[in-house]
Chains A and B, each alone.
Chain A
């Protein structure tokens, strides 16, 4: 830490003045995060928003507020998590590039910082911080969601380059991202965790076909990719050959920090607020619907607000305990589990609160539509970023030390049973 580092309060004051001059106010009535947007945007609207994110990110960079915890030699500010936290408090109420925090900065930039070569870091991180490179994650595959190490997308060495074949899925923002981290199998003759390698590649690479997946709420931001003889230079490999699972450990850790505690995230995570699930929004809705004095409605409102306060306290407490070494980092699975189940419950409460208004609405009733459509995709809260079932396994096995599940995948990966629908492989 340099002795001339700017004091946090002074930094916050500078940020406050700069934000007032340079950043537009947020529009609290419109949830821009595509997955939750009720009136699902057209592709043109998404691209326009992406352009705004790039432009806002560039402003942060020019103002000296991008990459607050990133070393200055990569274009960051070289400050501390306390500075980032102070900035995140100041930026409340302003529009900011919320949609590119995940995946560009966590996990992708965080992984590059830890595992990238000096050349890779010099090449990509300044461009990420200037909003010029949006990064996505080529991780999950059609053949397995929770079993990330079971990847069958294969990279075959060809001199000083690699040839990638296979398919990836659940890539957030895949169709408008610029670069990606990609997990691929480089060795089928060793145990599954030992034959993986991480690569970086441009989403415009020849042989990479991208198709958008439509969700039940109309969102089309998730993608599936098909890789056919995609060429990746060895210089774009991240970490050692067959050591991809070491990288994955940190990759998944950084991905989980989206719920709080990452020094690389600007703002309050990916969403400006809880939208229709905010206590104030729910109370306003009950007033509008004329049910605010009904004791059953009040019980629902109170339950929803209680659960969001408990979640907030839990995230703060577990983050603090992990930082202080009181709890191991596996404890993050508890916030993931509680976050998933309590968000699912809040979606159910909102649906009951809105009643008919949430399932049948007049044009322009965006919040009511958000509630109804949000209910349809409710289980995303318990699936995305690792299912709650996996979180329960982690808690039981890693935190409580209960016996591990019996494994059928310990031999050479080539011999691991993959079921009648399996595709890919050698």
Chain B
């Protein structure tokens, strides 16, 4: 759906084969009954396929297969969506991107190497500005050469128990105007004072947890990026997350649509295939078009964010706003076309509905990104007006 080069095709094909063999729907259902779905051996093998190094520049040990690592990773995210696969793909890559861009080899080379080879995973502890989980804050205080972190991160995706959390905290740095400015810190999840409490949720294979930090001591080199840079940096991490979520949703849509197309051909009612009724044909045409449009805006956003163009934030916002809203609706319509069987646990459709819905709502709702797009356009218009006035 997304690939444009032979190397991307190879990356996607190996990922698809691996996920197909490792996580068939029967396995997904077994995992649904387990507290932890993370398998260190299987994750390591995925990392060997290149899942965790694509967003990191070559100079920091990563590398892309096409020159645009986000466009490459989009093909992997698409397959994760198509298989409703477990594994903290998005968080690990987003944190790796942060370490690769703003970290340094001396400070963060070790953790980055662990993410590359799959020995560890990572989560980005993003706190939204609005909504039920808003206002959660982590404070950092200086303690000797290092920092003491306190606070709550309300929801992160679970991965390896010895993984990392990237979190923005205020209290230790100020802006030029003297305002409190947030900085990023990399926290080992097995550090003393870190407590994770599991959360419930609708995805069968993704587990989430709340993380409480109580006087967690980290060394000075735990700070990632310039002091006070976290708010700026979070905007890029949000773009990356939004694009990869959209890629997974498109994968879930694709799988649900393909199942439905098979179904309307094979299912007969009143002596005719369902798919021979014009009402059903037109619905299928709408769904196919929505799938193509969702893929198109996601692919475009991946290219722009990967290239770092000035309109990247806008394209990422449009992708999450559109795909986050349309994706789950498309899958719901697939359920409708299946009839009663579509809401049974036995049928596979819900695997993809779960994944698409979780991706759509976490890390900013479609409504949040819709408003973000308007805000970005207002800012751009104000800048143009100012330039024009000079």
Residues of A within 8 A of B (CB): 279-280, 283-284, 292, 295, 298-299, 301-303, 305-307, 309-314, 316-318, 331, 333-334, 337-338, 389, 391-397, 399-400, 402-403, 405
Cβ-based interface call for B286 (8 A): yes
Question: Given A309-B315, A402-B265, does the pair A283, B377 have CB atoms closer than 8 Å?
Answer: yes
- Known contacts A283-B381, A302-B374, A303-B370: does B300 contact A313 (CB below 8 Å)? yes
| A314 engages B296 (CB within 8 Å) | yes
Q: Is the CB of B293 within 8 A of A395?
A: no
Inter-subunit contact A402/B300 (CB<8 Å): no
Interface residues of B in 225-270 (CB under 8 A from A): 261, 264-265
- Asked if A299 contacts B322 (CB within 8 A), the reply is no
How far, in whole Å, are A279 and B373 apart by their CA atoms in the complex? 10
Q: Can you list 17 A-B pairs with a CB-CB distance of less than 8 A?
A: A280-B377, A280-B381, A283-B381, A301-B374, A302-B373, A302-B374, A306-B373, A310-B297, A312-B300, A313-B300, A314-B293, A392-B282, A393-B278, A393-B285, A396-B275, A399-B285, A400-B285
CA distance A306 to B376 in the complex (A): 12
Interface contacts (Cβ under 8 Å), in number, total: 119
Q: B381 — nearest CB in chain A belongs to which residue? A: A280
The answer to whether B284 touches A402, judged by C-beta atoms less than 8 angstroms apart, is: yes
Q: A283-B381, A298-B371, A337-B286 are in contact. Are A396 and B295 (CB under 8 A)?
A: no
State whether the Cβ of B318 lies closer than 8 Å to any Cβ in chain A.
yes
CB neighbours (8 Å) of B367 from chain A are 299
- Chain A facing B: main interface SS: helix
Q: How far is the CB of B357 from chain A (nearest CB, A)?
A: 19
Is A314 in contact with B286, judged by CB distance below 8 angstroms?
A: no
Seed contacts A280-B381, A402-B264; 8 additional CB < 8 Å A-B pairs: A302-B374, A305-B377, A309-B322, A318-B292, A338-B293, A395-B289, A402-B275, A403-B276
Task: Say if the beta carbon of B299 comes within 8 Å of chain A.
Answer: yes
Q: A280-B377, A283-B378, A402-B275 are in contact. Are A302 and B296 (CB under 8 A)?
A: no
Known: A314-B292, A402-B264, A402-B265. A337 touches B285 (CB 8 A): yes
Picked from B285, B292, B296, B299, the residue with its CB within 8 Å of the CB of A396 is B285
Instruction: Closest A residue to B289 by CB, please name it.
Output: A334
Nearest residue (CB) in B for A327 is B292
Does B288 sit at the interface, judged by CB under 8 A? yes
- Do B285 and A391 have beta carbons less than 8 Å apart? yes
Closest CB of chain B to A408's CB: distance in Å?
14
| Residue B314 interfacial (CB < 8 Å) | yes
Which residue of chain B is the closest to A404 with respect to CB atoms? Answer: B276
Residues B288 and A334 in contact, CB atoms below 8 Å apart: yes
A329 smallest CB distance to B (angstroms)? 14
Q: What residues of chain B have their CB less than 8 Å away from a CB belonging to chain A?
A: 261, 264-265, 273, 275-276, 278, 280-282, 284-286, 288-289, 292-297, 299-300, 314-315, 317-318, 321-322, 367, 370-371, 373-374, 377-378, 381
Contact B281 A316 (CB under 8 A): no
Cβ of A313 and Cβ of B297 under 8 Å apart? yes
Q: A334-B289, A402-B281 are in contact. Are A305 and B381 (CB under 8 A)?
A: no
CA distance A64 to B1 in the complex (A): 40
**Min C-beta distance of A238 to chain B, whole Å:** 32
CB-CB under 8 A from A305, the residues of chain B are 318, 373-374, 377
Given the complex of chains A and B, what is the CA–CA distance between A325 and B63 in angstroms? 29
Residues of A within 8 A of B293 (CB): 310-311, 313-314, 334, 338
Q: B300 contacts A400, CB within 8 Å?
A: no
Most buried by A among B276, B289, B315, B373: B289
Chain B residues within an 8 Å CB radius of A314: 292-293, 296-297
Please indicate the chain A residues that have their CB under 8 angstroms from the CB of B292 in the complex. Answer: 314, 317-318, 331, 334, 338
A403 to B381, CA, bound (A): 49
Residue of A nearest to B293 (CB): A314
Contact A403 B296 (CB under 8 A): no
Residue of A295, A301, A318, A396 with most partner-chain B CB within 10 A? A396
Identify which of B261, B286, B292, B381 gathers the most chain A CB atoms within 10 Å of its CB: B292
Question: Which chain B residues border A306 with CB–CB below 8 Å?
Answer: 317-318, 321-322, 370, 373
Name, among B284, B285, B299, B370, the residue most crowded by chain A CB atoms within 10 Å (CB to CB): B285
Q: Distance (Å) between the CB of B293 and the closest chain A CB?
A: 5
Known: A402-B276, A405-B278. A317 touches B299 (CB 8 A): yes
Inter-subunit contact A393/B281 (CB<8 Å): yes
Residues of A within 8 A of B273 (CB): 403
